[in-house]
Structure 1
Amino acid sequence: MKDFYVGVVLTDPFHTSIFGICVHNNFFGFRIVGFNSPQALAKYGLGIVGYHNYGKVFTHVAPHSCIVAGICLRIKNDMKLDEQAQAVLSYQNYTVPPAIEGVVLQPLKKHRSLEGAFMEHLRLNNGLVEGLSTPFEARQISVSWAVPGRINAFHIHPKRIQDELWCVLEGTLLVWLVDLRADSPTKGTRRPVLLSGEAPSLLYIPSGVAHGYRAGHRGALLLYAMNDQFNPSDPNEGRLPWDFFGAELWADDKG
């Protein structure tokens, strides 16, 4: 099945109208397959106008500085499906995850070679992390190993400020962040973040943002820094149930 588009070109230097039918092509764009003018056909031939979504105006600079412009309209040619399949049909969602105020995701440079790989984790100047878009003083650095499939959620640190800086060195973590700060402009926002040892990043999690993770099928090695130190006599390790924001957050993607 193909969707067909009708393209109408407005003008050229000789005011010769060009009309054509365009076939949608994911790789090359809209291809003009017919003209109403022999002069135009001889001059321009079959040419690529450029790919745009239907309903959008397209422009193309043709030979001899001729400006070609037009609009493409879609003629629907929907496929009919089995009624039971149609009833449960859904489509993949590619929307960008919503931002949470203060959360920073900063890629790191992992230098690879045949012999292995090297990466700088943090550069410190009097305890302050350099190159981060928000001030952060590292006071404790810890390592956590997660077995495959482990869910560790949700953590929050309400007694005093404890911002964290996460980096996955091996494996993969699906991290969920939920803004619980009462005065935050993004209060209540949920955001998923995928951290991977293949393409390491720094994830800055400000205080008041609940956080938890699920490890991938190979488990994960998490290196994280905090701007506070763990105090066993007055722990600041708040916990919420793993499914407090919905068990579906941790469901397998089987689609």
Structure 2
Amino acid sequence: MRLRELSVPGALEITPEQLRDPRGAFMEWYRFDLLAEAVGHPLRLAQGNLSVSGRGVVRGIHFADVPPGQAKYVSCVRGAVLDAVVDLRVGSPTFGTWELVRLDEVERKCLYVCEGLGHGFCALTDGAALSYICSETYNPGGEHGVHPLDPDLGIAWPVDEPRLSAKDAVAPSLARALATGLLPDYTACQEYTASLRLS
């Protein structure tokens, strides 16, 4: 298993080693100890989600209030998606930056997204199935979004006409989310992460 830090601090790309033979393949797609060593604390497994999307669907950019936030460990179990991680932490040296990672059923890469970062994806195939385990359960009052097509954010989605949910279609721009105090604070995120190392 190889772990690579993305250009957005707090996000990791995980590539499992696949053992193949005539029967098929086997891999460790999640290792508690290796991830804890890389991020400095264990990932609390509080909820598991599975979303299935048609080609051209864009979901996100979603994030949660910190504390407690919601860290995610994401994998694509069928088809392919282009996953986006966005730094939404006000005061972060990389605020507003993003990186795209292809997740698919061939390489079986996974993505770790820490608390305070935004997450979204674009389905590249019909029936693309994304599985993600989360550090906290869903909290409707503490869950938010930034519009995935915000031109100031400028995410290079590979579709001409992205299909959005009604909720994502009316999400605020990054500038509006910043002006209204909706975005997580970088220092608060750092302090929360430090508290997880002590517990």
Q: TM-score range by the shorter chain?
A: 0.5 to 0.7
Q: Which residue of 1 aligns with 2:164?
A: none
Query: Retained in 2: the 8 A contact 1:171–1:219?
Result: yes
Bigger Rg over Cα:
1
1:145 aligns with 2:52: yes
Q: Which residue of 2 aligns with 1:114?
A: 22
What whole-Å deviation, never above 9, does each CA across 1:100-125 have from its counterpart, x for those lacking one?
111111111222232222222334xx
How far did residue 205 of structure 1 move?
A: 0.7
Distance 2:135 2:155 in 1: 32
**Count of aligned pairs:** 150
How far did residue 247 of structure 1 move?
A: 6.4
What whole-Å deviation, never above 9, does each CA across 1:27-54 have from its counterpart, x for those lacking one?
xxxxxxxxxxxxxxxxxxxxxxxxxxxx
Distance 1:189 1:109 in 2: 29
SS at 2:83 equivalent? strand
Distance 1:195 1:206 in 2: 17
How far did residue 248 of structure 1 move?
A: 6.1
Across the aligned residues of Structure 1 and Structure 2, the Cα RMSD in angstroms comes to: 2.4
Q: Compared with structure 1, are the counterparts of its residues 112 and 236 closer, same or farther at alpha carbon in structure 2 (3 Å cutoff)? A: farther
Q: Compared with structure 1, are the counterparts of its residues 148 and 252 closer, same or farther at alpha carbon in structure 2 (3 Å cutoff)? A: closer
Distance 1:247 1:184 in 2: 18
Q: Which residue of 1 aligns with 2:64?
A: 157
Higher strand proportion (structure 1 or 2): 1
- Can you give the 5+ residue segments of structure 1 that lack an aligned partner in the other structure? 1-97, 124-128
Query: Retained in 2: the 8 A contact 1:154–1:241?
Result: yes
- Can you give the 5+ residue segments of structure 2 that lack an aligned partner in the other structure? 1-5, 161-199
Q: Which residue of 2 aligns with 1:40?
A: none
Q: Which residue of 2 aligns with 1:203?
A: 111
- Normalising to structure 2: TM-score of the pair? 0.66
Distance 1:122 1:131 in 2: 9
Letter in 2 for 1:226: C
Query: Retained in 2: the 8 A contact 1:101–1:185?
Result: no
Letter in 2 for 1:114: P
Distance 1:103 1:113 in 2: 32
Distance 1:116 1:122 in 2: 19
Higher helix proportion (structure 1 or 2): 2
Letter in 2 for 1:174: L
1:229 aligns with 2:137: yes
Q: Which residue, 230, 237, 241 being the options, matches 2:147? A: 241
Identity, in percent, stands at 28
Distance 1:157 1:247 in 2: 21
Q: Which residue of 2 aligns with 1:168?
A: 76
Query: Retained in 2: the 8 A contact 1:106–1:202?
Result: yes
